[in-house]
Amino acid sequence: MLNRFVMQLAGILLACAGELVFPRLTASADPAAEHTKLELVSEQDAIVPGQKLWLGVRFDLQDGWHTYWVNPGDSGEGPRVEWQLPTGFQAGPIQWPFPARLSTPPLVDYGYEHQVLLMTAVQLPWQAKEGKIETIGARVHYLVCREVCIPGEKQLALSLPVRSRAARSRSGQLFEVTRQRVPQRAPSQWRISVASVANEFVLNLRATTSLESVQFFPLNEEQIENAALQRTSLIPGGVRLHLEKSKHLLKPISRLEGVLVIGSAKAYLVDIPVTNHSGAIPSQ
Amino acid sequence: MQRNLLCSVAMVLLFVPSLPAQRVGEAAPEFEATDSNGQTHKLSEYRGKFVVLEWHNNGCPYTRKHYESGNMQRLQKEWTGKGVVWFTVISSAPGQQGYVTAQQENDYLKQMNAAPTAALLDPQGFLGRLYSAKTTPHMFIINPAGVLIYDGAIDSRATTDQADIASARNYVSEALGEAMAGKPVTTPTSRPYGCSVKYAH
C-alpha cells in the first residue's frame, strides 16, 4: 500500500520534473537550433587519398531569420567553424558566398537568409587507408537573428569511406550552385581604381561585362558606412561607385578590399590601392 | 519643463537629418534625456567630467555577456568611483526586445547590482540616432571639454562568450585611463559589436 503510494508519488514527481526540467533543458541547450538547421555535408561520397575534398556547413534558416557574412556589417557576428580532422587532413579557409544587404534602418548588416553553404576545401593525405571509414567533426559557433539575436553552438560530424574513386554526393548540386556565388578574382583586363576624395571613396570600374547594377561589400570593417546609399554614375566604358567613408575611419587606408556584385549573380573579389586626392575626382 | 523637453526633442528631431554624424575628435552632440527616476540630464551639465554612454538591451546576448559576468557593473563602479558620469542608454522601441518601463529598469539595475550614474530611457531612439548608436553594447566617451574621444566596442573580443572577457582588451578602460593621464587615446574607434539597436521602425 505504502509502496504503491510511494511509486505513484515518484511517478507524479518524475512527470513534474520532466515537465519542468526537460522543456527548459531543451529550450536552453540550443535555442538557436529552433531557427536554423545545420548539417555538415560533402560534395563527394568518399575520401580519395591525395585529393581535395569540398566540405560545407549548410544552414537552413527559418523564414525571417538570418546569419552573417565574414564581415557582418553594422551588427551581428559571422559563423566560426572549428574543424576536428583525422591525421593528415588539412582544411582551408571558408569560401564565403557573397551576402545580401540586410537593412533595418538606420543599420545595414551583411548576411544570409533561407539557406547558405559555407564551403571549405580539405586536402586529403596520400596515406589515407582504403576501406577505412573516417569521421570529420566540425564545431560551429554562430549567431541567428530576426528582431532578436540568438547565439548557437553545434557539434557536427560526417563519416565517409576511403576509396580509390568518388562520385558526387546528393549534396553535390548545392556545392555547384554555391560555387557560382563565391566571389572570383576580377578579370585582369578590368580596370579598377579607388580614390579617396573628401568623405568618399570613389571607385571607378571599367569591365568587359555589362554593368547594369554594381554593389560593393567591404571585407574590412569600419572602412565604409554600411548603411549609406552606394550612388552610381556612368563613366566612359564603365561605372563609378560612391562609397561613403565610415565615420570610424580616422586614418587614410592604403587598400580597399571587398566584393563587387554585378547584377544579382556574379561576384568578384577586389583589392585595390587607394590614391589620395584633395582636388577633383580623377577620370581614370 | 515638460514643454521645454518636448521642444528640445522636436529641435533634435529637426536637426538630426541634416547633421553629419559626429566623429571622434569633434564636439559630442548636446542632448537632453530622462532617466528611469524621472530626472532629466543634459550633456552640457557635465562639462568638466568624463561621460560614458553605454547602449543597452537586457535581452541581447552580447549585453548579457557583460552583465551576467559582472564585467559591466565592475566597469561602472570603477569609473564612476573615479568621477566619471556613466549613462546606460536604452533605445529599444516599445514592443521591441530590451524595451523597459522606468520601474522595470530600476528593478533590473537593482537585481543586476548595476551602478551607472543613471539609465536614460530613449524609447523613440532620438539619442540613439543622434549618436548613430548601432549595437548593444555600443560605447562612447566624451571628455571634460565635451569632445567625443571614443566611439566603438566595449572590448576586442566580438563574441557572446563570457570566457573571452578576460583575454580581451577593454577599449573603454584603456581610453579613460589614457585620457585621464593626459595621453592620446590609442584606440579611439573600433567596430561596435553586438545586437542591432532595436529602433522604432
Please tell me the predicted confidence (pLDDT) of residue A208: 78
Q: Is the pLDDT of residue B19 over 60?
A: no
Please tell me the predicted confidence (pLDDT) of residue B22: 80
Q: Is the pLDDT of residue B3 over 50?
A: no
The predicted-structure confidence for A206-245, as pLDDT tens digits, reads as follows 987 777 789 999 999 999 999 999 999 999 989 999 999 9
Residues of B in contact with A222 (CB under 8 A): 189-191
Which residues of chain A register pLDDT less than 70? Answer: 1-29, 278-284
C-beta separation of B88 from B54 below 8 A? yes
CB distance B195–A150 less than 8 Å?
A: no
For chain A, say whether B91 makes contact (Cβ under 8 Å): no
Residues of A in contact with B134 (CB under 8 A): 74-75, 107
Rounded to whole angstroms, how far apart are CA atoms B153 and B49? 21
C-beta separation of B116 from B87 below 8 A? yes
Rounded to whole angstroms, how far apart are CA atoms A274 and A12? 71
Q: What is the mean pLDDT of residues B57-69?
A: 98
For chain A, say whether B156 makes contact (Cβ under 8 Å): no
Indicate the residue of A77, A106, A147 with minimum beta-carbon distance to B198. A147
User: Nine-digit cell at A41?
Assistant: 555535408
Query: Residue A31 in 3-state DSSP?
Result: helix
> Of the candidates A38, A181, A39, which has an alpha carbon nearest to the alpha carbon of residue A96?
A181
For chain A, say whether B41 makes contact (Cβ under 8 Å): no
Residues of A in contact with B24 (CB under 8 A): 248, 250
List alpha helices for A30-165, DSSP H: none
ipTM of the complex model: 0.86
Cis check: omega of the bond before A106, within 30 degrees of 0 = yes
For chain A, say whether B97 makes contact (Cβ under 8 Å): yes
Indicate the residue of A105, A149, A250 with minimum beta-carbon distance to B195. A149
Rounded to whole angstroms, how far apart are CA atoms A105 and A110? 13
CB distance B189–A248 less than 8 Å?
A: yes
Please tell me the predicted confidence (pLDDT) of residue A282: 53
Cis check: omega of the bond before B137, within 30 degrees of 0 = yes
The predicted-structure confidence for B101-140, as pLDDT tens digits, reads as follows 999 999 999 999 999 999 999 999 999 999 999 999 999 9
Indicate the residue of A75, A106, A249 with minimum beta-carbon distance to B195. A75
> Of the candidates A156, A132, A120, which has an alpha carbon nearest to the alpha carbon of residue A47?
A132
Residue position matching grid coordinates 559630442? B28
C-beta separation of A144 from A150 below 8 A? yes
Residues of A in contact with B96 (CB under 8 A): 147
Å between A183 CA and nearest CA of chain B: 24
The predicted-structure confidence for A121-133, as pLDDT tens digits, reads as follows 999 999 999 999 9
How many Å is the maximal CA-CA distance in chain B?
48
**% residues pLDDT > 90 (chain B):** 88
User: For chain A, how many helices (H) and strands (E)?
Assistant: 2, 18
Size of interface A-B (CB pairs under 8 A): 69
> Of the candidates B71, B78, B53, which has an alpha carbon nearest to the alpha carbon of residue B180?
B78
For chain A, say whether B16 makes contact (Cβ under 8 Å): no
CB distance A250–B25 less than 8 Å?
A: yes
End-to-end CA distance of chain A: 96
Please tell me the predicted confidence (pLDDT) of residue A100: 97
Q: Is the pLDDT of residue B53 over 50?
A: yes
Which tops the pLDDT comparison, B2 or B108? B108
Q: Is the pLDDT of residue B5 over 60?
A: no
The predicted-structure confidence for B151-187, as pLDDT tens digits, reads as follows 999 999 999 999 999 999 999 999 999 999 999 999 9
Rounded to whole angstroms, how far apart are CA atoms A192 and A239? 10
Å between B1 CA and nearest CA of chain A: 30
Model pTM score: 0.87
- Comparing alpha-carbon positions, the chain B residue that sits nearest to A148 is B97
Rounded to whole angstroms, how far apart are CA atoms A222 and B197? 17
- Comparing alpha-carbon positions, the chain A residue that sits nearest to B153 is A75
Q: What is residue A97's DSSP assignment? A: P
Scan residues 110-139 of B and list those with Cβ closer than 8 Å to A: 129, 132, 134-135
> Of the candidates A147, A226, A65, which has an alpha carbon nearest to the alpha carbon of residue B200?
A147
